[in-house]
Amino acid sequence: MSFHHPGFLWLLLLGLAILILHLVRKGGRLQWVPFLPLWERALLEEGARPGWRRVQNLLSLLFQLTLLSLIVLSLAHPFIIELVEERRHFSLILENSARMRAAEKNAKTRWNLARKKAFELLEKKGGSEEATLLITSPRPSVVIPSSRDVWKLKRGVESVDPSYGGGDLRGTLSLARQMKPLGEESRVVVVAGSKERDFKGERGEGIHFLNVGEREDNIGFTRFFLTRSGFGAGYEVLMSLKNFGREARRVSLVLSTGEKREITLPPLKEAEVVTEGKEGGFLLFSCRILEEDGLALDNEVWGVLAPIQRVSVALVTQGTLLPCFTSLLNTFSEVFKGKPAIHSPESFSQSVEHYDLVLFDGWAPPELPRGRAFFFFQAPPPWEKDFPAQRTGMEESIVTDWLRSSPFLKSLELSDLFVQGVLQGEIPFGSTPLVFSTSGPLLFHGSERGRFYLFFPFRLTQTNLPLLPAFPLLFRNALEEFFRIWVPKEPVRSWPQSGNSWEKWDKKVPERFQGCFSTSEEHPSLAPGLYQRTLEAGGKEILCHNFLNASESDILPGQERKGEGDVFSRRKVLKPRSLRSLFLLAGICLILLEGGLYGWTRRMR
């Protein structure tokens, strides 16, 4: 037995003091008595157990010396060096990305092999060894925190299914390191689903890679973008395919449009396929690789484009801008144009309320009619009776400033612009001026009782050159903003096809989305902020992020298959074992024992 603080052992000398005190006390104080036989007669009965009395005294001395020894030894922090089986911890990382759904020869899927391997590993685990079960997909997460219970860990393995997306080995390894108990040797065992891939970045000491699955001839989609082409006239598709194998492959692609393409993929190379179509409205697009490989999951992609939303537009014009408007509106496939209206003012307000957008050119009703949105071009505004507008005449109003951040004025350059014959007046309450000139606001928009309006207080023909060619752009901006605000669109969606039947995809959407879109979540088993992992989402126009992206899903490490026996080899090491608590416990027991004895002897007396 050794001591961390041997200096405290000097306190054992206090035992000598106790011994001396005991001897002095044993001698007793000299007391004179007048007649000793009286005492002797009394103590003849009391002292009938002198032997027990001596034993009691001796026990008391022994108790005091032992208690002192225990206290001093506890202070000295004793410890012994013993040969013990090293306490170890290992983290079992199961790759459960989509590739684990691949069919294998001797098992239904590659995941079955991985699960079987995990069971074998857990059964080999030492009884005192703790294991943490982690998975890689859709994000690194802990399934079972540190546990010695093999059955619990096995149930944890059984509760996991392969995902429909990629995985994050780097993040999972990082998480495993964070979960490692302090002061314990920890190993990480990764059960991955492929072989002969280099994962140089994550190879390190204490990390063992066990591979399951044989097939490695995988060719799969790695990116898939589906979006509408300009002005919604058609659609565009961008697909990336990658050959994960070591040999060049020639594959055939069958598109839902009936088109068939053949491409050649070099080993470990990626190829892009771009296609387009002119089909409008609802579109279901899919593409399938006609190739049998190890992983059927990434052999098909598909996406959905929502049907085109039609917008009805009425044009109330005196004829000056009709060609311009007609040509502009024709660029919007979703716009249903109404005829130029010639209505009496009384009946007009009732007839235009069925249109989504009404354009007034040079004339406007006395009141803002029912409806959703109104554009006014050089028309006296309906609120003129409240705020009479005056025309400025032919003097030039020069633009002084404009809101460059406004979506209405996107891509417009209005400097050096002047207009003539501007209607001047106070802009109504709640309106936002967009362009300022020397004679007042030139353009403003606002809303009143849920109705959107945009007001152009000048004629396009009475401006200088810069605005005239830019007017279609301004008008398009206004229409797009109107569409953005007033016309909700069905988002375009696309998912990877996993080989399941069509009827099931509705139920699978949330889970499949996990692998495709960005996540920023905390694992419930960890403290807040301990772990945070963000997967990259695409840009705005990318409605579905690529799945099985090589950079994310290729978690497969180098395949130097290490001896599995090394993973669970048990070592015996010399470790100091503190005896302080043992001594303290013995001291407490001794005090309790002495207290019990004292109480018992008192009762006996």
Partner 1 sequence: MKPKEGIAEEFLEPSFLQKLEYLDIVAKKIFLGEMEAGKSGGKRGPGTQFHDYRNYSYGDDLRYLDWNIYGRLDELFIKEFEVEERIHLNLILDTSASMSFGSPPKIEVGKKLAAALGFIGLSNFDRVNLLAIPSRDEMVSFQGKKQVFPFFERLSSLRCAQEAHFFPSIRDAVTHLRSKGLVAILSDFYDPSGYQKVLRFLIYRRFQVFCLHLWDPLEVDPPFRGMAKLRDLETGRTRLLRITPSARLRYIESFQRFCRHLKGLCREEGIGYISIPTGVPFDFTLISLLRRGGLLR
Footprint of partner 1 on this chain (CB under 8 A)? 25-43, 45-47, 53, 605
Shortest Cβ distance from residue 38 to partner 1 (Å)?
A: 5
Between 27 and 565, whose beta carbon lies closer to partner 1? 27
**Residue (of 40, 10, 130, 70) closest to 590 by Cα position:** 70
Q: Give phi and psi for 451, each to the nearest 5.
A: -110, 130
Between 30 and 574, whose beta carbon lies closer to partner 1? 30
How far separated are the first and last CA of the chain, in Å rounded? 42
Between 27 and 469, whose beta carbon lies closer to partner 1? 27
Shortest Cβ distance from residue 62 to partner 1 (Å)?
A: 17
Tokens of 449: 């009782």
Shortest Cβ distance from residue 29 to partner 1 (Å)?
A: 6
Between 32 and 151, whose beta carbon lies closer to partner 1? 32
Shortest Cβ distance from residue 36 to partner 1 (Å)?
A: 4
Shortest Cβ distance from residue 89 to partner 1 (Å)?
A: 59
Q: Are 195 and 215 contacting, i.e. CB atoms less than 8 angstroms apart?
A: no
Apex 402 CA angle, 396 and 407, nearest 5:
130
Q: 596 Cβ partners below 8 Å, 6+ apart?
A: none
Q: How many CB atoms lie within 10 A of CB 557?
A: 23
Between 13 and 43, whose beta carbon lies closer to partner 1? 43
Report CA Rg, the chain: 43
Tokens of 230: 């300009």
What SS3 class is residue 376? strand
Element (H, E) at 305: strand 300-305
Shortest Cβ distance from residue 54 to partner 1 (Å)?
A: 10
Q: Are 586 and 70 contacting, i.e. CB atoms less than 8 angstroms apart?
A: yes
Cis peptide before 138 (omega within 30 of 0): yes
Shortest Cβ distance from residue 8 to partner 1 (Å)?
A: 32
Cα 400 to the chain's mean position, in Å? 48
Q: 117 Cβ partners below 8 Å, 6+ apart?
A: 191, 210, 212
Between 10 and 52, whose beta carbon lies closer to partner 1? 52
Shortest Cβ distance from residue 64 to partner 1 (Å)?
A: 15
CA distance 309 to 299: 32
Between 35 and 151, whose beta carbon lies closer to partner 1? 35
CA distance 572 to 564: 19
Shortest Cβ distance from residue 25 to partner 1 (Å)?
A: 6
CA distance 146 to 277: 54
Tokens of 509: 């959407």
Between 51 and 524, whose beta carbon lies closer to partner 1? 51
How do 235-243 and 249-255 pair as beta strands?
unpaired
Between 27 and 230, whose beta carbon lies closer to partner 1? 27
